[in-house]
Structure 1
Amino acid sequence: MMSSVTETLPRGSDAALNAPPLDMRRLRKKRGSGNSLAAHGEPMVWLTGGALTLALVMIIALLGFVIWQGTVTFWPVPLVHVELADGTLLMGEPTRDETFKLEEAAIDRLAPGLQESARKAMAESAGVIHRRLLRTGNFDLTGTHFHWVDDYAVTKETRPEFAMVVERVEKGRFYGIPQSMIAAGEPVAEVADENDADEARRTIWDAYQQHHDAVTARREEIERLLKHEIGHEAARQANARLEMRAAELKHGPNSPEHQEAKKTFEAVLVEVGERTGEIRARAEKLRAENARFSITLATAQGVEKTLGMDEIVRMYPANRLSTGDKWSLYFSRWHEFFFDDPREANSEGGVWPAIVGTLTMTLAMALAVVPFGVLAALYLREYAKSGPITSAVRIAINNLAGVPSIVFGVFGLGFFCYVCGASIDQIFYPASVADNNPVFGKGALVWASLTLALLTLPVVIVASEEALAAVPNSMREGSYACGGSKWQTIRRIVLPHAMPGIMTGTILAMARGAGEVAPLMLVGAVKLAPELPVNLADWSGSMGPIPTGPLHLDNSFMHLGFHIFDLGFQSQNSEAAKPMVFTTTLLLIGLVAGLNVTAIWLRGRLRRRFVTGGF
């Protein structure tokens, strides 16, 4: 009380000069009696800061782990040739190592010569055993892809100079040492004497580098002929047959229209047969030319196997690579990963179809969800009156965001595919229905996009409504004062200023939709799609009477998220698929990040348009 009185007295007055001095000890005691540690707020600052730090550490650690595992997948490693104590010979790439404790009972079951080695190794390494996992390949000869090798069991280990890693079109990798080669039907070199073996193998390697590109070009041309040109002819035949079937259903089996369609189909059938025969003849000619190139390799066990050069995607001497060769091989594998089709049950090759499918589905989802979400938010914020019904709608929207994604997948399958799609087929594609070959009455890109649009709709509505609420009412009132109508005010004042917030909702919706897997498994995502959903060479896409050009909404598609699930949990060779899981995960994260960065950049540009200076 004394201090407050003193503070209110005018400075320099007699009352202020004659006031009794303050008792600081009593004042401190009075102030401190009501204080506690929590009252200062420092504990909450430390708690919130610690929580933020923990979250950042967890996120950075996860991203760092995925980035590290994903980027080292394609780096070439040396080949080792090991001889074990029991006489087993192995050759392969070390993929990972680990330590484990070998129980005494397990040591007693080892061969007498290995028991001492095992105990010695455990004594030298604090009671644990070190072992490596070698990718030995040669599945068609050995029936397995990997072998665990305990260090104590290795009696000899070398790195053969000309040991080759062979990445094949089928059957996985092959590891061997060149023994002979035939090019253009003529022998190039053969290892007949070990004294001259290095020179012969060097000759084989040089000849392989000389001819492999031409052989690969012929193999790719064969694949193009068989897949695209014959596929085009088969599509012509199928379309003609469907037109005949449609005429039969519409006009009757013996009507003039049906007879005319039948004649057209028979003419197309003859043309397709002739054209297909020509294409197959060209493919056989190329295949016969490729058959004149082959290479024979010997495995670690001495078994020789002859590989056609057209079976080889890539071959290289792992132990002779320079630093430049390793980087060249590394980037070559990345190029293959981005732009090639998958092979060997998706565990090798590329993910180009999954990239196209993921981007197309995400963009189609965004085009579907943003207009509906923004319109719903506009009505709730600008037109709807506050009341129990509006409150119930908002609660329903918020609750919709908590529904498990698989429920949306079941709804999409039951409603979009089996109701909407089947109805479209009945109206516009009756011939396909009669042949039990639905066009839209199955999983398709359009239904996957609409299902995920429904899944992400609450995100867009909530974010858009908050953005609309953030626009000051003074702007609306100024527009009304200038004679603007309600819609003019919304279109010219409110929406432009709310656009950055609406873009935020779009970013969140795209990020969530691109990473969803469970609903896609029911409404269109497949393990391997024969055709891309976007085909610039085929502009015949349509949805009933609506042309869609190169966008084929009725196609199934591959998705990076589903691809990760398939690699991680449905691959017969899980160890070989594991690196691809990390690399595909890294790609999906990068893809989502790229979409988000683009949207954030657009949001920033929109926000800068409406920045006003203060004065």
Structure 2
Amino acid sequence: MTTAAEEIAAAMPKSLVARDTEGVRAYVKSGSPYVWLTAAAISVAFMITLALLILTAARGLPHFWPADVVQGQYTAPGEPAEPILAEIRSTEEVTSARLKNAGLKVDEAQLLYDRLLIKVANRDLLGADFRPVLSDWLVQRSYPEDAVVLERVEWGNFHGFLHAVKTDGVIVATGPEAWAAYQPLQDRATDLRSKIEEIEKNEIGAINYRIEHLRLSEKRLQIDGHTRENDPADYAKLDERRKEQDADYEKLRLELDAIRKDLSRDALVMKTVDGKEVEIPLARVVRGYRPNEMGLFSKLGFFGSKVWEFVSDDPREANTEGGIFPAIFGTVMMVMIMSVVVMPFGVLAALYLREYAKQGPVTQIIRIAVNNLAGVPSIVYGMFGLGFFVYFVGSSIDKAFYSEGLPSPTFGTPGILWSSLTLALLTLPVVIVATEEGLSRIPRSIREASLALGATKAETLWRVVLPMASPAMMTGLILAIARAAGEVAPLMLVGVVKLAPSLPLDGNAPFLHLERKFMHLGFHIYDVGFQSPNVEAARPLVYATAFLLVLVIIGLNLTAIGIRNRLRERYKALEG
């Protein structure tokens, strides 16, 4: 027996069925389905990337917004009411069974509870910044306009009410007048703290650098066999210069003592929500504000200042407060050094493989090896960089040129130079492959035309081929930057640190210090996220730093893309 579908198919004209089949085959052969499939895949990838970026920004940027401070009574069953003054950071739903297993006395008839994560601050008094509470037990809520949030140099934020302002131990303002008296004193304290930082980091730092240089110069004289008895003039010059530096240091020390004394004269008397009075020296306060009385524009201005502080200041409080400028600077500088190193070697290698090497099994094996190097785990490059660059090359440089510094290493220790070279090796295959592809797309007729006009092969490559292949070379550099800027594992072995005492670039000769260790945004994310003693305070900074790292990579890539597009437009006519 035949089915109804088979009868209908049999009744249809054979030519119509064949025509539909041929149409489907022609559509598939045209490649249109694959074009649409590729477009759909790119669209999905773009939306996922955009969603990830938005999520990162949404989790990180609210950290800089001045959240309102709520005052209330926390009434846990069986315990006395506890006054609370805190910021509500997050809310989640939890089951009553889960809370009961945690030892809380909850009503099992209510299946779900809202649990709040609040920032109570006052870590020096309470022992922790954050604590979870149940929303139903936080009652009598209010938002007092006189609630003050103080950002401190140590111990995190302080929540309370400003009771009085002291100068030289004498109360100069109390009550409502205290807040107006505090504002100019805070500006003054900020200026004095900036002066102290300028003197300590720049002026005294420069003196210490010169004193260390004099010590090494004296040791160099001793290594060369010059003694004070044989060459008193050389030692006399060193002693005179050392006395000058000591005199300059003494002047700065006296100036610092005067500024610190001036800074320590002011203090704030704060009252906690439970009525305790705490005296806080103004020297330990970064800023103070009343979030509950701030309007929208005031909060926007505060948000902008906090974001600027995040990208321009040094970190503090185990990297959970302050800014991340050293990490931004280290990341960009490392990528720039890596780019300067990897481009010449990558282009020369590709040029040899494509233009000079005899195409045969050996060249093919080399190409396979280059492609395989792109898949080697990055930590392997880190181990190679540590063993070869640091322990072998760096130690050899120290023995040859910096023997006066031994046994303390100069280049025989991880630093930004070795990190850049390690990442240059890591990204070298990408540059080689991209450049070789660009060279292969240049028509042979252009090379022959140049040679026919009397140019040598080297001149043809330098003046014709390489300029036309420059867009492909820039594509390789873009891919190299995208990978190198986010690498962390190899850097942990060859130069990156949690907190660098000084930048690799400063005002002390020779100005560029390639032997110094540096901070990196990727490692900063790891350190804050997994090594911080204050996890809740560090969590939003992880998202904010990750968001900033993506923006830095995008900025570097856009710069390279702009250069590539200009080169492509310049040589488009020749390619045609």
TM over 0.5: yes
Name 2:501's counterpart in structure 1: 530
CA gap 1:282/1:32 in 2 versus in 1, 3 angstroms: closer
Mean Cα deviation higher: 276-285 or 291-300: 276-285
Name 1:338's counterpart in structure 2: 311
Name 1:70's counterpart in structure 2: 60
Say what the alpha-carbon RMSD is for the aligned residues: 2.4
Name 1:157's counterpart in structure 2: 141
Q: 2-side partners of 1:604 and 1:159: how far apart?
A: 55
Whichever residue aligns with residue 333 of structure 2, its letter is T
Partner deviation per Cα, 1:252-295 (whole Å, 9 max, x = no partner)? 556623x5554445444444443333222211111111222111
Contact 2:314/2:326 (<8 A) preserved: yes
Q: 1-side partners of 2:358 and 2:104: how far apart?
A: 82
Structure 1 segment 585-604 matched on structure 2, within 5 A = 585-604=546-565
Structure 1 segment 448-487 matched on structure 2, within 5 A = 448-487=419-458
Contact 1:237/1:265 (<8 A) preserved: no
Q: 2-side partners of 1:341 and 1:46: how far apart?
A: 49
Name 1:279's counterpart in structure 2: 252
Contact 2:331/2:521 (<8 A) preserved: yes
- Cα offset for 1:53? 3.6
Q: 2-side partners of 1:447 and 1:66: how far apart?
A: 31
Which of 196, 202, 220 is equivalent to 1:222? 196
- Cα offset for 1:230? 2.4
Contact 1:240/1:265 (<8 A) preserved: yes
Q: 1-side partners of 2:53 and 2:545: how far apart?
A: 13
Contact 1:356/1:534 (<8 A) preserved: no
Contact 2:468/2:575 (<8 A) preserved: no
Q: 1-side partners of 2:295 and 2:412: how far apart?
A: 55
**Alignment of 1:249 onto 2:223:** yes
Name 1:99's counterpart in structure 2: 93
The total of aligned residue pairs comes to: 560
Whichever residue aligns with residue 424 of structure 1, its letter is I
Name 2:72's counterpart in structure 1: 82
Structure 1 segment 225-374 matched on structure 2, within 5 A = 225-251=199-225, 256-257=230-231, 259-374=232-347
Name 1:403's counterpart in structure 2: 376
- Cα offset for 1:236? 2.4
Identity over aligned pairs, percent: 42
Name 2:392's counterpart in structure 1: 419
Contact 1:240/1:264 (<8 A) preserved: no
Q: 1-side partners of 2:560 and 2:40: how far apart?
A: 31
Structure 1 segment 69-218 matched on structure 2, within 5 A = 69-85=59-75, 86=79, 87-103=81-97, 106=100, 109-111=103-105, 115=106, 118-119=107-108, 122=110, 127-183=111-167, 186-190=170-174, 200-201=175-176, 203-218=177-192
Name 1:581's counterpart in structure 2: 542
CA gap 1:107/1:509 in 2 versus in 1, 3 angstroms: closer
- Cα offset for 1:362? 0.5
Contact 2:313/2:324 (<8 A) preserved: yes
Contact 2:74/2:139 (<8 A) preserved: yes
SS of the residue corresponding to residue 296 of structure 1 reads strand
TM value normalised by structure 1: 0.86
Q: 1-side partners of 2:264 and 2:436: how far apart?
A: 66
Structure 1 segment 515-526 matched on structure 2, within 5 A = 515-526=486-497
SS of the residue corresponding to residue 147 of structure 1 reads strand
**Alignment of 1:610 onto 2:574:** no
Structure 2 residue runs of 5 or longer lacking an equivalent are 1-10
Whichever residue aligns with residue 186 of structure 2, its letter is H
SS of the residue corresponding to residue 206 of structure 2 reads helix
SS of the residue corresponding to residue 63 of structure 2 reads coil
Q: 2-side partners of 1:232 and 1:26: how far apart?
A: 92
Contact 1:361/1:445 (<8 A) preserved: yes
Partner deviation per Cα, 1:304-348 (whole Å, 9 max, x = no partner)? 211111211110011110112101111111111111111111111
Whichever residue aligns with residue 239 of structure 1, its letter is H
Q: 2-side partners of 1:109 and 1:614: how far apart?
A: 75
Name 1:561's counterpart in structure 2: 522
TM value normalised by structure 2: 0.92
